[in-house]
Chain A
Amino acid sequence: MDHRPQAWGRPRDDIYGAYDGSYLQTTGPKQNTQAPVVTGTSVVALKFKDGVVIAADNLASYGSLARFTDVKRLRVFLDTSVVGFGGDVSDMQYLDRHLNELAIDESYETDPSAPDAGALNAANLHKYLQKLMYKRRNDFDPLWNQILVAGLDSGSKPFLASVDLRGTAFSSPSLASGFGAALAQPIMRKYAATEEDAAKLSREDAVKVVQECMKVLYYRDARSMDKYSIAVVTKEGVELKEDEQLEKQSWAFAERIRGYGTQTV
Chain B
Amino acid sequence: MAMFSQNPIMNGPNYSFSDTPKVNAPEGARQHRFDPYTDNGGSTLAIAGKDFTIMAGDTRLTSGYSINSRYHPKVFKIGGTTADQKDASIVLSVVGFAADGEALKERLDAICKMYRYRHGKAMSVKACAQRLSTILYQKRFFPYYTYAILGGLDEEGNGAVYSYDPVGSYEREQCRAGGAAASLIMPFLDNQVNFKNQYVPGSGEGHALQERPRNPLSRTEVEILVKDAFDGAVERHIEVGDGLQMMVITKDGIEEILLPLKRD
Question: Which residues of A come within 8 Å of B, CB atoms?
Answer: 2, 4, 6-7, 10, 12-14, 18-21, 24-35, 134, 137-138, 140, 142, 162, 166-172, 181-182, 185, 194
Count of B residues near A, CB < 8 Å?
42
Q: Within the complex, which residue of A29, A35, A142, A168 is in contact with B29, where a contact is CB–CB below 8 Å? A: A29
Taken residue by residue from 136 to 168, chain B's Cβ proximity to chain A (1 for < 8 Å, 0 otherwise) reads as 000000100000000000000000000000000
| A and B contact pairs by CB, cutoff 8 A, 15 listed | A2-B6, A6-B17, A7-B6, A14-B6, A19-B7, A19-B13, A19-B15, A26-B21, A27-B23, A29-B29, A30-B25, A30-B29, A33-B34, A140-B36, A171-B71
B9 to chain A: which residues have CB within 8 Å? 18
Top 3 A-B residue pairs of the complex, sorted by shortest distance between their CB atoms: A21-B13, A167-B99, A170-B69
Q: Assuming A137-B99, A181-B66, what are 19 further A-B pairs, CB within 8 angstroms?
A: A6-B17, A13-B7, A13-B8, A18-B9, A19-B7, A25-B23, A26-B22, A26-B24, A27-B23, A30-B29, A32-B30, A34-B33, A137-B34, A168-B63, A168-B97, A169-B102, A170-B68, A171-B71, A172-B69
B30 to chain A: which residues have CB within 8 Å? 29-30, 32, 140
Q: Within the complex, which residue of A19, A27, A28, A138 is in contact with B12, where a contact is CB–CB below 8 Å? A: A19
If over half of A's interface residues share one DSSP class (helix, strand or loop), that class is named, otherwise mixed; here it is loop
B25 to chain A: which residues have CB within 8 Å? 27-30
A182 to B63, alpha carbons, bound, how many Å? 12
Question: Which residues of B come within 8 Å of A, CB atoms?
Answer: 4, 6-9, 12-17, 20-26, 29-34, 36-38, 40, 61, 63, 66, 68-72, 97-99, 102-103, 142
Whether the pair B38, A4 counts as a contact (CB closer than 8 A) is no
B38 to chain A: which residues have CB within 8 Å? 166, 168
Q: Within the complex, which residue of B12, B29, B34, B68 is in contact with A172, where a contact is CB–CB below 8 Å? A: B68
Whether the pair B69, A171 counts as a contact (CB closer than 8 A) is yes
Whether the pair B66, A182 counts as a contact (CB closer than 8 A) is yes
Whether the pair A168, B15 counts as a contact (CB closer than 8 A) is no
Whether the pair A13, B6 counts as a contact (CB closer than 8 A) is yes
Whether the pair B12, A21 counts as a contact (CB closer than 8 A) is yes
Chain A min CB distance to B100 (Å): 9
